[in-house]
Structure 1
Amino acid sequence: MILDKIENYKLYAGITERLTKGFEFIKNTDLVAIASGIYDIEDKAVFAIVQEYDTKEEKDCVLEGHTKYIDIQYIVEGTELMGVTTKNNQKVVTSDLDKDYTFYEGETAYIKLVSGMFTVFFPDDLHRPSVQDGQSSRVKKVVVKVQI
């Protein structure tokens, strides 16, 4: 897992060419003005999902992981807590390999993400997004999916 501010993205962009394309989308797009939806960056190998939502109580948020894609999760506006842990012996709740998600039961540590921050989650990283920090707040986020 990587946690940083977007101004430091070049430290990580060179890991793969596709990660570079994902970061370039974040840096070169007017993310405040862009509408929610899915945006193709590289023919399904790299695409962005722009979301707007209200954060929720921890009990209403799921712990998830992916196997086919790396996630870059960038906070455009708002604040959320993100539960994080590594994959080990968590109980699988449900899985859809075609849609590249598995939901788990398990404990996490929490990090606070504010506007301008991003995380990168690799297949061994599990995350519980959208958790409120004391009270619900409106968040605009871009999740760039980068095929492995």
Structure 2
Amino acid sequence: MMLGNLLSWPLQQAVFPAAVNHALALLQQQDLATLPAGRYPLDGDKLFFMIQEMNTRPQQDKKPEAHREHADIQLLLAGNERYGMAPPAPESCIVEDRRDTHDIAFYAAPADEVFFDLQPGMFAVFFPGELHRPCCAVAEAQPIRKAVVKIHRSLLGL
């Protein structure tokens, strides 16, 4: 997992994988403020993004998730959002497996989960297999808008 901010990202590109830098550069060419919610191509079928609008919810109402085939770049555009994060562990317990149809599995809450908050302009990168719990309320539920980039694992050399 990596955290960043679009304002400081140009100075930190050397620490990000090339596929993440490529995706962020392409994303900055989009008019993210006016695009309606939906899925958009960036570069072929292995690199795309979604504009999502939703309300945050209490963290106990959200399940941690992980993807097998894609990394996520979750860029917050409006609102405040809390995330849970835990490193992959063999003992992680899947409670709902939709990896074959939607590349997502939901997990029981891990004991070593930590939480952090994003503000607009900040992004988090979650690599395949990394547990993350998005869309959690910081203080109370509120609407958020974000761009979620999906990077196929092959673009990361995985």
- TM-score normalised per structure 1: 0.92
Q: 1:24 Cα shift? A: 1.7
Structure 1: 5+ residue stretches without partners: none
Q: Given residue 17 of structure 2, which amino acid in structure 1 is its aligned partner?
A: I
Q: Secondary structure at the match of 1:7?
A: coil
Matching of residues 86-97 of structure 1 within 5 Å: 86-88=87-89, 89-97=91-99
Distance, in Å, in 2 between the alignment partners of 1:9 and 1:69 is 21
CA contact (8 A) 2:42 2:49 kept: yes
Number of aligned residue pairs: give it.
Answer: 147
Identity of aligned residues (%): 28
Give the corresponding residue for 2:105.
Answer: 102
Secondary structure at the aligned position of 2:35 is classed as coil
1:1-148 matches, within 5 Å, as: 1-10=1-10, 11-12=12-13, 15-16=17-18, 18-88=19-89, 89-98=91-100, 99-107=102-110, 108-148=113-153
Instruction: For residue 28 of structure 2, give the secondary structure of its aligned residue in structure 1.
Output: helix
State the shift of 1:12 in Å. 4.0
Shift of 1:48: 0.3
The alignment yields a C-alpha RMSD, in angstroms, of: 1.5
* 1:143 aligned partner, one-letter code: V
Shifted more, 27-36 versus 46-55: the winner is 27-36
